[in-house]
Chains A and B, each alone.
Chain A
Amino acid sequence: MGTKVFSRPDCLRDVATHYCPGCHHGIIHRLVAEAIDELELAPRTIGVAPVGCSVFIYDYIDTDFIQASHGRAPAVATGVKRALPDRIVFTYQGDGDLAAIGTSEIIHTAARGENVTVIFVNNAIYGMTGGQSAPTTLLGQSTTTAPKGRDAGADGAPIQVCEMLNTLQRPAFISRVSVHTPAQVVRAKKAIRRAFQCQQEGKGFSFVEVLSACPTNWGMTPLDANKWLEQQMLPYYPIKDFRIPEGVQ
């Protein structure tokens, strides 16, 4: 008789997602759900959904959820956490959401050391609105609003969010991971779990950036997208644990 080695996390609903083939949002959702399950947090977790392709995350992860306005999820999470300090509060945000319209909210939430967890999905483009430039779009990468490729002179240089947040005093946990290979998925899972653990133990602000593919708007097959992520994104967005508090395994 075989033993069961893999199953759907309890708090991941058994429904088909709306994501495109090869999109990494689904994988990242699963990792978040697994971490919530393993730490047995579901009954006291409140998620804050962003504006972007993952706006419907509340249809997939079975915890209480709030749908925030574009970029403001960290401020919403602050309000919830201040009101309910013994609950687990996390946001899930894209790079347009977090690094463009929501820069103020993320920086100040991190600066306050708010005891919440932020999952930041960086796919270097705006997915939902059809492939416009993000603050994380790489130099030379073409988008619908940078048809000739992003140019530092005209468009500025891409923002490295982990590095930027790492200049602040208060964040407890900052890590950048990727999900483009099985090995990286395992590593990403560990970082996400650690981030929730950090919050559970009251250590303060925890932040995980997950590099992610958007085959649809990059105009690639899922396999080519994974390759592009590895070759183009990793050099500029290195996978790294920036900050880990003592005692977090």
Chain B
Amino acid sequence: MAEKVLMKGNEALAEAAIRAGCRFFFGYPITPQNELLEYMARHLPEVGGTFLQSESEIGAINMVFGAACAGVRVMTSSSGPGISLKQEGVSYIAGSELPAVIVNIMRTGPGLGGIAPTQSDYFQATKGGGHGDYRLMVLAPASVQEMVDLTALAFEKADEYRNPVLILGDGVLGQMMEPVVLPEPSPEKTVEKPWATTGKGDNEKAKLITSLYIKPEEAECFCDHLRAKYSAMEERETRFECYRTDDAEIIAVAYGTAARLCMAAVDMVREKGIRVGLIRPITLFPFPSAPLREAAEGGAWFLTVELSTGQMVEDVRLAVGGRQPVDFYGRSGGMVPDPRVIAARLEELAEKKANAETAQPNEGGAA
């Protein structure tokens, strides 16, 4: 039976991973994700799993690479500066088509930054980060419950697409406690992995996992193959949530912690009878462009809210394609916006839109 417990985000994510069949974890300490590592150290051995604290993030991600080659469910977690170090390995994992789950509980940057929550690694998460022509599936939970649910999904999708999946959280989600329903432990999923390098056994042919394509023709062919895989993800895996958007004139766009703040702001503004709503991307790659485009075609204006100086707003603008205005509000460095300020920005935008609409018909007539 599913149980409801009060858990810290980082620990809930770790428990969800174990329940999803993750039996190998390699990591290196960094705040604000240490509870995740520590939880794995305590609980993985209880289920016969392996926890290893590596010498560095580079070591950790390459251990993940090796374990993924062996066909097991494996995870690592870190925060900004550590994820930067992992990018080399992430590129190799993507280039070798291996399933692995990577967690980034974001802290501030650039550089050493601070341990307060931000969303400043959006570009790094969704636009590569490592070298080469690859994409990660990026999942953005907005609650402790979603950290649990999306972790199970992450392992499933990593295996399905043979691609690394990144869970992008932040210090708020990692540190806060909420009641969660934990899923039943899924008996070690027997996903067939005929490609895994487990020794050739009686097979004629040895297996090889590589990302080296010396001939440009072959390299291009491989990149085309990856592109087809990412297109399939775009078609089948795009996830988002719409909140009070049915009749919305103004739509906030935000993910993770910022989305929670926006939800509160939307409620405040709605109380005044102003029609605002929220679109919350759950997958940052594939990015939910279609609902944004449709809302723009329906005439809505947008306010992107991020805990950064503006990163996802570029994807929102691409989706909206200049059809309607896209405004931005963000705080960075670990400062968390007050929902009342977001509400004021939404109201302001609603007023601007109303003015623009009443001004428009006159423009022609006055000439």
Contact = CB atoms under 8 A, between A and B. Distances in A.
Contacts of B209: 65-67
Contacts of B173: none
Given A64-B208, A84-B70, A104-B59, A79 B200 contact: no
B58 A64 contact: no
A69 B74 contact: no
Interface in A159-192: none
B52 interface: yes
A67 B208 contact: yes
Contacts of A80: 66-67, 69-70, 197
Interface in A9-45: 42-45
Contact of B199 (A63, A72, A107): A63
Contact of A82 (B67, B206, B212): B67
Interface string B237-257: 000000000000000000000
Given A44-B201, A55-B212, A105-B58, A83 B66 contact: yes
A118 interface: no
Interface string A66-86: 111100100111111111100
Given A43-B199, A104-B56, A108-B59, A78 B212 contact: no
Given A69-B89, A105-B58, A105-B62, A64 B67 contact: no
B231 interface: no
Contact of B206 (A48, A63, A72, A108): A63
Contact of A76 (B24, B66, B200): B66
A90 to B, nearest CB: 12
B68 interface: yes
Interface string B208-231: 111110000000000000000000
Contacts of B96: 66-67
Contacts of A62: 200, 206
Interface residues of A, number: 34
A75 B66 contact: yes
A187 B217 CA distance: 44
A58 B212 CA distance: 11
Contacts of A88: 199
A216 B57 CA distance: 36
Interface string B66-104: 111111101000000000000011001000100000000
B92 A69 contact: yes
Interface string B135-156: 0000000000000000000000
Interface in A44-67: 44-46, 48-49, 55, 58, 62-67
A76 B69 contact: yes
Given A43-B199, A63-B206, A79 B58 contact: no
A87 interface: yes
A77 B58 contact: no
A79 B206 contact: no
Contacts of A81: 66
A69 B24 CA distance: 21
A82 B58 contact: no
B55 A79 contact: no
Contacts of A42: 200
B140 to A, nearest CB: 27
A63 B56 CA distance: 29
Interface string B51-65: 010111011101111
Nearest to B64: A79
Contacts of A84: 70, 198-199
A106 B199 CA distance: 23
B198 A75 contact: no
A77 B88 CA distance: 17
A79 B67 contact: yes
B309 interface: no
Give the one of A43, A65, A79 with max B CB within 10 A.
A79
Interface in A108-143: 108
B62 A64 contact: no
A80 B64 CA distance: 9
B324 interface: no
Given A67-B212, A80-B69, A83-B66, A75 B206 contact: no
Nearest to B59: A75
A67 B97 CA distance: 12
A118 to B, nearest CB: 14
Contact of B65 (A43, A49, A76): A76
Contacts of B56: 104
B206 A65 contact: yes
A43 B208 CA distance: 14
Contacts of B208: 58, 64-67
Give the one of A62, A63, A75 with max B CB within 10 A.
A75
Interface of A: 42-46, 48-49, 55, 58, 62-69, 72, 75-84, 87-88, 104-105, 107-108
29 contacts: A43-B201, A43-B202, A46-B69, A63-B206, A64-B198, A64-B199, A65-B206, A65-B209, A66-B65, A66-B66, A66-B197, A67-B96, A67-B211, A68-B62, A72-B89, A75-B63, A78-B66, A79-B63, A79-B68, A80-B66, A80-B69, A82-B63, A82-B66, A82-B67, A83-B70, A84-B70, A104-B55, A104-B59, A108-B54
| A-B interface, 6 closest residue pairs, ranked by CB to CB distance from nearest | A79-B66, A75-B62, A83-B70, A67-B210, A79-B63, A108-B55
Given A67-B212, A72-B58, A75-B62, 7 more contacts: A48-B66, A55-B212, A58-B208, A72-B65, A75-B58, A80-B69, A84-B198
